[in-house]
Amino acid sequence: MKLHTISINNLKRRKAKMAFLTIGLMVGIATIVTLVTLTRSMSRDIESKMDEFGANILITPRSNGLSMNYGGIALGGVSFDQHEIREEDLAKIKTIENRKNISVVSPKVLGGAKINSRDVLLAGVNFESELKMKQWWKIFGNEPKSDHDILLGSDASKLLDLSPGDNLSIKGETFKVAGVLDQTGSQDDALVFASLAKAQKLLGKAGKISMAEVAALCSGCPIGDMVTQIAEKIPDAKVSAIQQVVEGRLKALDQFKRFSYAMAGVVVFIGSLIVFVTMMASVNERTTEIGVFRAIGFRKSHIMQIILLEAAIVSLLAGFLGYAAGMGGARLALPFMAESKNAQLVWDTTVAFGSIGLALTLGLLASLYPALHASKMDPTEALRAL
């Protein structure tokens, strides 16, 4: 017989009350787990989408010029004091505060070249990062593997009348068409893609790049902050954010997250209130019992131990059940909430331990006053109750 025997036996014998208490707290914890898991899973879903959407930060050379552009038709530019980006500067991007959120950096060098007596825009790219960023590209033929492999945009392929496996010559050097892109509806259709190093050499821009695209995983990393951080590292470049649509979605998700936390807060408050009221009622019901404990020599601390241990057991149980129910709820709700049909549920140990810890903390805090009240009961109350 120890103090915990009293707590455990009381809970065993008063199953209905214990169940009510557990359910009250469990609902609160389950709501939090569902909302947190849903927002995390939806964030992860959007993050993975951002990879598919491509770049969300663009790095171009800074110039003190005016872009002559009207309705999407480029009319040339009035530029002076044009700065250039050195390829080595790109390494600095990996040193920014939010570097962990950077998924892909894809540098490009652009310049005019002649193929089969026709003027084309040659784009030197790092094929590995370019293909990772532009996951929507569909290539007929093969992905370029060597420095002498070329990838043609669909329009460029038609204009030059070249197909996968054909050879072509640029500035006296022979290249092989490894593949042709399916129509993308973007500027990529008109481009001739070569490896970055080879294009730099052909265009006489060794070590320089014309622009770089950056894809960032941006849940919890404001694109604006990353733009500022990159601009600080590469002062000669103009860094701008694109993909406002995705940003908009993230903002909506952020609002949902805030709403979720507010709702979770309310539910937790109600759960705590249930624990408080039930424990208080339980203590008042047990006036005589507590008086007997005090009469036979239990200290105030012993009474508190009994009440708080009961609260701890119920809270832990509510934490476990709440986590399980919450994850179940999130699993059921995710297909209706996420944009992708195959959005994955995020299983996070922080949420698991957090929910159990939160249940325990709330249960104990809500039971603290009832426990104190019980410990301060006058033992003569037990005798008077006779």
Among 1, 16, 73, 74, binds other proteins (CB under 8 A): 1
Q: Which residues within the stretch 253-312 sit at the binding site for other proteins (CB under 8 A)? A: 288-289, 292-302
- Which one, of 108, 83, 92, lies nearest residue 229 by Cα? 92
96 contact partners, CB below 8 Å, separation of at least 6: 102, 226, 229, 230, 232, 233
Query: How far apart are CB 365 and other proteins at their closest, in Å?
Result: 24
Q: Which two tokens stand for residue 285?
A: 């019901």
- Which one, of 50, 30, 155, lies nearest residue 104 by Cα? 50
Closest CB to other proteins among residues 268, 382: 382
Only one residue has tokens 């979720």, namely 260
Stretch near other proteins under the rule CB under 8 A, chosen from 88-96, 135-143, 155-163, 377-385: 377-385
Please count the residues of this chain forming the interface with other proteins, following the rule CB under 8 A.
29
Closest CB to other proteins among residues 291, 322: 291
Instruction: State whether residue 296 is helix, strand or coil.
Output: coil
Query: How far apart are CB 372 and other proteins at their closest, in Å?
Result: 15
Query: How far apart are CB 291 and other proteins at their closest, in Å?
Result: 8
Query: How far apart are CB 12 and other proteins at their closest, in Å?
Result: 7
366 contact partners, CB below 8 Å, separation of at least 6: 272, 273, 275, 276, 279, 311
Closest CB to other proteins among residues 13, 341: 13
Phi-psi group of 357: left, alpha or beta (phi > 0 → left; psi -120 to 50 → alpha; rest → beta): alpha
Closest CB to other proteins among residues 1, 74: 1
Query: How far apart are CB 288 and other proteins at their closest, in Å?
Result: 6
Q: Which two tokens stand for residue 362?
A: 């709330």
Query: How far apart are CB 318 and other proteins at their closest, in Å?
Result: 21
Q: Is 380 in the site for other proteins (CB under 8 A)?
A: yes
Alpha carbon distance 244, 224 (integer Å)? 11
Query: How far apart are CB 50 and other proteins at their closest, in Å?
Result: 58
Alpha carbon distance 150, 164 (integer Å)? 9
Distances (CA, A) of 335 to 27, 246, 247, 341: 22, 20, 22, 6
What's 343's DSSP letter? P
Distances (CA, A) of 293 to 18, 279, 309, 368, 378: 21, 18, 16, 19, 11
What's 174's DSSP letter? E
Secondary structure (DSSP) of 109-123? EEEEEEETTEEEEEE
Q: Which residues within the stretch 193-232 sit at the binding site for other proteins (CB under 8 A)? A: none
Instruction: State whether residue 20 is helix, strand or coil.
Output: helix
Alpha carbon distance 88, 206 (integer Å)? 11
Query: How far apart are CB 378 and other proteins at their closest, in Å?
Result: 8
Q: Which helix (H) or strand (E) holds 70?
A: strand 66-70
Closest CB to other proteins among residues 74, 296: 296
Closest CB to other proteins among residues 185, 297: 297
Closest CB to other proteins among residues 57, 290: 290
Closest CB to other proteins among residues 11, 196: 11
Q: Which two tokens stand for residue 238?
A: 């103009």
Query: How far apart are CB 371 and other proteins at their closest, in Å?
Result: 16
Query: How far apart are CB 321 and other proteins at their closest, in Å?
Result: 23
Closest CB to other proteins among residues 79, 380: 380
Among 16, 73, 74, 386, binds other proteins (CB under 8 A): 386
The phi and psi torsions of 76 (rounded to 5 degrees) equal: 95, 170
Q: Which residues within the stretch 3-32 sit at the binding site for other proteins (CB under 8 A)? A: 3, 5-6, 9-10, 12-14
Closest CB to other proteins among residues 171, 299: 299
Instruction: Tell me which residues touch other proteins (CB under 8 A).
Output: 1-3, 5-6, 9-10, 12-14, 288-289, 292-302, 378-380, 382-383, 386
